[in-house]
Amino acid sequence: MRLLSFLTRACLISILLNLYLLPVSGALFSDQEKSSDNFFRTTNLDLGFNSVQTGFEPALLMPDKESSRSALINQIGALPFIYSQKYQFDSGDETLCQNLHLEVLLKYYDLHGILQITNKYSGSLVDFSINTNGLDGDLSFPTADYYPNPDYGLAQHWFEYQVSLPDDPNPNLGNLSCNFSYVAKAWMQQHSYGQAFWDEEILANSVSTGSWAKVTGMKFNDLDGNGDKDEAEPGLEGWNIFAAQEVEELSVPADDNTGIDSEVLENGATYLVRVTGTYQADTDLTADAKYSVRNPDTNWTDTVNGLESYGYELLDLQIDGASPDWGPYASDHEYWTSLVGTGASVNFKIYDILYTNNTGNLNVTIFKVVSSDITDTDGLYELDLSNVDGEIVVAEENQTGWQQTMPSSKYYVFPGPDLYEDIDFGNHKIPAGPEFTKIVINEVYYDVANTTHCDEASSEWIELYNPNNFAVNIKNWSLSDNAGSVTITGNPEIPAYGFALLSHDNGTWIHCFSDNGAVIVQLAGAAAWLNNDGDQLTLRNSDDQIVDFVAWEQGSCDGGTCSNNFPHLYPDWTLAVAEGHSIARSPLGFDTDSPSDWIELATPNPGTNPHSHISVSVDQEDSYLLIGFSNAWGFDELDYAISYHHLYSNEPVEETIKGKAYKPLNQNQLILDPIFLGTCSDELLTCVAHTGIGTVSIDLLYKDGDTSIGTSTITFPWQEK
């Protein structure tokens, strides 16, 4: 008994001593570590969980791809164990995690070196867990028939984790990241987790998605302007391409001077603005966002014919009181521009000096930009549509001097985010200069006085004036009268505020008059062509647009010799001069397309004009007289007197309206307030327009301070409304 007792005490002491001598480690009963800093080692139960890969590959997960990562479960300690694995969400977009599919493969090589693969899990990433009940014999150490090789060691299990998106994933899952961990738990055989010896390791992961909701394409130089992308046509660098969603529609009334305000536009956000439609500005004038045309003319211009002195912004659709660059004329009357929100609303208003006569409206649609890109050196762009819902508009930003040719609608509309490829934009370079340039026929010498050097057959001439502040090339322009049409050849350019003199024989007429430094253009064709007894002259640009017109002595006849059977074509144009005299505009460049613009000069003035450099425009809207001045430098005060007769109780009454206007001396433009030809009450509550008005005489006095620098008188034919 003593011996047995001694042996028993010795065994207990030995067991306690052995336990005492074991290395101190958390794995004695537990060892909870991360794979990135697994420094604990024991001779008992120690689990390792690591990967030689830094993350899932490929780095960006796409719908038709899968990303994978391999990892090793290691038996580091001496004790056998069973282990499980499960998913743990860490950070990022949880919705993406919930949409990912996971395949977990246990891989090893058999005795013949053939790779064996066992699928341990197939399902949603967030539901991933294996062997939580400890019944899977494959997930335990030591391992039987598990042969080491370069992929894994003797005490290692080799796993591959494959994640993928649904077959038809929501594009909103693009450009997101799901950060999660695989948690591996190990415990002693014949025990459960948390009892006796156990260990826990964590392998951190991140899965990121690329974008499969995008628009890609090319901005190209449409050299031939045909609206198709040809192989030889290069890309255009530095163009903004936008994807945007509609946020608001507005109808801007043409007859309201206050305009209409948008909703508040987000500060710093970019918006696209599309404007469509036309409206009536008085009965014979139609306008869109930038251009206008008078009936029966067919030339849409940036300036109103006859009202050029009111500037390029007249009748524009303005944003917060300024006219954006709506781009070149569009026959469908649709224009685009962009703006940046400031945290406030913006105002849309049609600018007109007499808006009460307007009818109709322009339609404005505002789109908020959700993605944008600038084309690269090859003209390529890419727009990301991730996290975008609903209909999308893709459009380009206009650039001055270019005409968009593709697409014909100017923009693309897509029902929602998806992958859209080869969405191309084409633009054609517009020749230098404005889209429509005003040049006037300023003087015509059609009835030549025969002298030693000058005769009817060779000495007629026509003077053109350029009222613009830029030079205008008139190559391929044409002049036509009753005898035919002549095209201007060579490369003649009229300087800003300069003159050109056109004749069939410059070597002859130049002996009769000085050219005063004007551009000289010799016309090919018949010698004598401007009929003395009535003719008309039309100037057309290279696009065959009518730029200006004048007629004298009622124009040519419709048929043979003028008679009741063959009447004159332009009976209102009664201009007639004596032989050796010319017809000339007064003042210089003054153009209302009526005979009253013209006077007779006893001494022709080719290449100059003695009246004034100031261009004046006069027009009528209902009972209002509209007067504007351009090229108006040199005076700071204008005195005017408007004289006319009207009928009151069938008796003629003479009226005179006097006024003054002021501007800086070097300011080139002056616009008078509309002048009402009628009688108003003192409070202006009731106004009655005068009737029976024939011709209105406008006397103008230009002053520099107290010094008078010139006068002019204009007669304007009033039309009863």
Pair 188, 79: CB distance under 8 Å: yes
Say how far apart CA 118 and CA 244 lie, in whole Å: 49
With cut-offs at 50, 70 and 90, classify the pLDDT of residue 409.
confident
pLDDT for the residue numbered 28: 40
Tokens of 553: 């002595």
What tokens does 672 get?
Answer: 């008078």
pLDDT score for 18 = 35
Q: In the predicted model, what is the mean pLDDT of residues 63-86?
A: 94
pTM, full prediction: 0.59
Altogether, the residues listed in the chain come to a count of: 721
pLDDT number for residue 422: 95
Using pLDDT thresholds of 50, 70 and 90, give the confidence band for residue 437.
confident
Q: What is the mean pLDDT of the chain?
A: 85
Res. 4: pLDDT tops 50: no
pLDDT, residue 448, reads: 85
Is residue 549 within 8 Å of residue 537, measured between CB atoms? yes
- Distances in whole angstroms, Cα of residue 308 to Cα of each of 148, 466, 499, 629, 661: 91, 13, 18, 8, 19
Are the C-beta atoms of 548 and 439 separated by less than 8 Å? yes
Q: What is the band of 6 on the pLDDT scale with cuts at 50, 70, 90?
A: very low
Q: What φ, ψ does residue 715 adopt, rounded to 5°?
A: -105, 135
- Ranking 67-76, 207-216, 620-629 by mean pLDDT, the lowest is 620-629
Q: Whose CA is closest to 552, among 617, 601, 603, 607?
A: 601
Residue 96 has phi, psi (to 5 degrees) of -60, -45
Q: Which of left, alpha, beta for 379 (phi over 0: left; psi -120 to 50: alpha)?
A: left
| Residue 587, preceding peptide bond in cis (omega within 30° of 0) | yes
CB neighbour class for 54 (10 Å; exposed up to 12, middle 13-18, buried from 19):
exposed
Amino acid at 60: L
pLDDT(297) > 90: no
Can you name the residues that pair with 616 across neighbouring β-strands? 629
Query: Comparing C-alpha atoms, which of 317, 299, 302 is closest to residue 358?
Result: 317
